[in-house]
Amino acid sequence: MHAATTSPAVGVPSEFAFDLQDFELVRTLLKQHTGISLSESKRGMVYSRLARRLRATGQRNFRDYLNGLRQGTAEWEQFVNALTTNLTYFYRESHHFETLATLLRTRAKPGTKLRVWCSAASTGEEPWTIALTAAEVFGSLTPPVEILATDLDTGVLATARKATYNAETVSKVPEALVRRYFIREASGDFTVRPELRSLVTFKQQNLLDANWQAKGPFDAIFCRNVLIYFDRDTQLQIVSRFAPMLAPGGSLFVGHSENFAHGQRALRLTGRTVYVRDDA
């Protein structure tokens, strides 16, 4: 048993010593390699999440653990995954899916597939809500839509691919749509129907990578409630990269607290946190 020490983050006895230098090293590593900026208020969260990694790896202190991290290793991936916030649920900011439904109806053309990129897919609720929306618009389990779902966190992508959720999670979905688009398992969990699962391709993607696996043009790009973790310059850089990947008239959907009406000219605000690329 490790001797209890006082964590400056919370002021109560803690299993591992965690000082300001440790926290600053975490912030630097995460910023350099993912672009994510951690505020001072996240110190307690960082301790809690990384203490699990120390236990799992048998490390006795944060300094040794952090100094031993090497990008590209399995533990580096666990480090990033542990610090990635993944709050999501079906039909989050539901007005976006009403807007998406209108966009899909408007842009549908015989013989062509509409393309949507969900760039922060997390555990899958967002891309599956996009798939449900498309199925409803076209009245089909196989609508003419291709969905690319990416995320930095490989752990949440595994959950998203599985497409199985407990009853509490699925309770956000209207009951009629649950009956139509999910299969109830013997365990009581619900799995997205295979026809809809075939619409979505999952890939690991860091939005700070120089080269994105995602290739446009897309009719819609979702990047909601993730840009808030970057500084303003990085936010605008990412938005400026999204713009040319949208087809003319395509839309970028961002989170309720994210505003890019100023600082860039490629996209025009058209509704509640929806930006459009005007026709070329």
- pLDDT digits over 159-181, tens only? 999 999 999 999 999 999 999 99
10/109 same-domain check: no
Residue 180 within a domain: yes
175 assigned ligand-binding residue: no
Which of the listed residues 17, 48, 83 is the one where a domain comes to its end?
A: 83
Residue 115 within a domain: yes
Give me the pLDDT at residue 187, please: 96
86 assigned ligand-binding residue: yes
Give me the pLDDT at residue 176, please: 96
Helix (H) or strand (E) holding 26: helix 20-34
The CATH number assigned to the domain holding 20 equals 1.10.155.10
pLDDT confidence of 68, banded at 50, 70, 90?
A: confident
Task: Give the model confidence (pLDDT) of 203-220 as tens digits.
Answer: 999 998 889 989 999 999
* The one catalytic residue among 22, 43, 115, 151: 151
Task: Give the model confidence (pLDDT) of 24-64 as tens digits.
Answer: 999 998 888 777 778 888 888 899 889 989 999 998 899 88
150/191 same-domain check: yes
The CATH number assigned to the domain holding 116 equals 3.40.50.150
CA distances from 32 to 26, 50, 213 (A): 10, 18, 20
35/167 same-domain check: no
34 assigned ligand-binding residue: no
211 assigned ligand-binding residue: no
Which of the listed residues 60, 83, 106 is the one where a domain comes to its end?
A: 83
What residue numbers bound the domain in which 30 lies?
A: 5-83
User: Total domain count for the chain?
Assistant: 2
> First CA to last CA across the chain, in angstroms?
65
42/101 same-domain check: no
Which of the listed residues 62, 83, 104 is the one where a domain comes to its end?
A: 83
Mean pLDDT of the chain: 89
* The one catalytic residue among 19, 49, 193, 197: 49
133/169 same-domain check: yes
Catalytic site includes residue 49: yes
Catalytic site includes residue 53: no
272/137 same-domain check: yes
200/65 same-domain check: no
224 assigned ligand-binding residue: yes
158/256 same-domain check: yes
Task: Give the model confidence (pLDDT) of 70-93 as tens digits.
Answer: 766 778 878 887 887 666 889 989
Give me the pLDDT at residue 86, please: 62
CA distances from 209 to 33, 143, 152, 212 (A): 9, 31, 10, 6
Is the pLDDT confidence value at 279 over 80? Answer: no
HSE (side-chain half, CA atoms, 13 Å) at 42: 18
58/189 same-domain check: no
Q: How large is the C-alpha radius of gyration of the chain?
A: 21
Is the pLDDT confidence value at 106 over 60? Answer: yes
CA-based torsion, 5, 6, 7, 12: positive or negative:
positive
Is the pLDDT confidence value at 2 over 60? Answer: no
The most distant pair of C-alpha atoms in the chain lies apart, rounded to whole Å, by: 68
Give me the pLDDT at residue 280, please: 55
